[in-house]
Amino acid sequence: MKRNREEEKEEEKNKKKMEIVWQNPTYPAQKEDYIFHNGKRHVRPYYFEFVSHVNKRWEGKTIVDLFAQEFRGRSKDYYVSAVKCGRIQVDGENIPVSYIVKRCQKISHFLHRHEPPVMAWNVAILQNEPDVLTVCKPASVPVHPCGQYRKNTVLGILQAEHGLAPLYPIHRLDRLVSGLLIMTKNPARADIFRQHIEAGLVQKQYVAKVVGVFPEGEQVVDANVDYNAREGRSSALVGIPNGDTALKGKAACTKFTRISTNGTHSIVLCEPVTGRTHQIRVHLQYTGHPIANDMLYLSVNVVGRSTLGTTADRAAALSGSSPATSCENHNEEYKYCNQDLTIDPMCTHCPNLAPNGYDEHEEGLWLHCVRYSGPEWVYECPYPDWASLS
């Protein structure tokens, strides 16, 4: 009888292992979701329901053709199998592979989700006030869910490790940029900050490590920034419009002041007056002193990201330097073990932690936000280690 009870317990334990918990965007990140391995913060793969709705372009297609044409990351055979086993549903119902979708229908794709890893630096809390939270955002970590990232974000990590949610970022930092990030704990306070920003009452300061000896004295770059979404990079444009043809891009202005130099690199204070995509990076390139590990802007003729990617540490390796920052507190609480992971038989990424195609060398830029100030408020972040040229 004792043996039977033990067998029942083991059977129940195995049964629970087989149960799938389908997560959605409202499912909170948990501390145990993270695995730290080789200096990277990984997210334990999990089951997730991706939801979309049939638009005009999709209407009239079979469910398999829709996925094969619009979501090319997986093969048509995979989508056939996913429909047959109910991993792809329409309006919550299983459908045949020949099913033709109709406008506005809800399509669910149930996937074993693998998020890209980020660097294992902590999200350091700087100030925790009743309505405002400021942190030092590590390079490589997105601010909020986007693309393949959901739990491996500043918001996800703060919720999982500190129970801080909901939070409302009042500005954004690119994923590869580190430094000061200001968030509020309620929408009303966020609106006040946004009003200050929209009224031009907020001053922003960044530091960058650039190539060469940057000139002394304040240098002002007033050049339009034209962002090419396909290439993932911006261009700085100056000149006089010809006739009825307006100058491309959006007006942009950045002030630069050299802090120090060692003859090879310079540390530069960057004060963007406007806020355009990659503005500081492309304006520094325009001066002839690009960020020293910025592969995307080290050369005017750099190949697009589809070929080289945006990996910052490739360039850092060429200069013999490391892109580490002052937030370099590696967390070794969790260790990676393949046996700890659920392997999904339909998953196209298993048994790897990272999704296929991830560039494992990507780290961060030598660009760091140090200060935001507005009417009667100032928030600051410590300088990173690379900002010292000694």
Q: Which of 65, 77, 91, 174 is catalytic?
A: 174
Alpha-carbon span 118 to 137, nearest angstrom: 12
Q: What is the pLDDT of residues 259-271, one digit of tens each?
A: 999 999 999 999 9
The span from the first CA to the last CA of the chain, in angstroms, equals 73
CA 3 to chain centre: 51
Q: Assess contact for 116 and 105: CB atoms under 8 A.
A: no
In the prediction, which pLDDT does 20 show?
82
For the chain, how big is the Rg over CA atoms in Å? 24
Q: What is the pLDDT of residues 140-184, one digit of tens each?
A: 999 999 889 999 999 999 999 999 999 999 999 999 999 999 999
Q: Annotated catalytic, 174?
A: yes
In the prediction, which pLDDT does 237 show?
87
Alpha-carbon span 250 to 361, nearest angstrom: 32
Kindly write down the DSSP assignment for every residue of 120-152, as one continuous string: ----EEEEE-SSEEEEEEPTT--SS-BTTBSSS
Q: Assess contact for 284 and 256: CB atoms under 8 A.
A: yes
Q: From residue 19, how far is each of 12, 14, 15, 44 by CA, in Å? A: 11, 9, 7, 16
Q: Assess contact for 241 and 180: CB atoms under 8 A.
A: no
In the prediction, which pLDDT does 230 show?
86
Residue 113 — very low, low, confident or very high, per pLDDT cuts 50/70/90? very high
What domains are defined for the chain? 46-113 (3.10.290.10), 121-387 (3.30.2350.10)
Q: Assess contact for 268 and 214: CB atoms under 8 A.
A: yes
Q: What is the pLDDT of residues 22-73, one digit of tens each?
A: 898 889 999 999 999 889 999 999 999 999 999 999 999 999 999 999 999 8
CA 166 to chain centre: 19
Q: From residue 277, how far is each of 174, 202, 323 by CA, in Å? A: 9, 18, 22
Q: What is the pLDDT of residues 300-354, one digit of tens each?
A: 654 443 334 444 444 333 333 333 333 334 443 344 455 567 789 899 899 888 8
Q: Hey, CA dihedral for 28, 31, 35, 37, is it positive or negative?
A: positive
Phi, psi of 58 (to 5 degrees): -80, -25
Q: Report the DSSP beta bridge partners of residue 111.
A: 48
Above pLDDT 90, what percent of the chain? 70
Q: Assess contact for 267 and 244: CB atoms under 8 A.
A: no
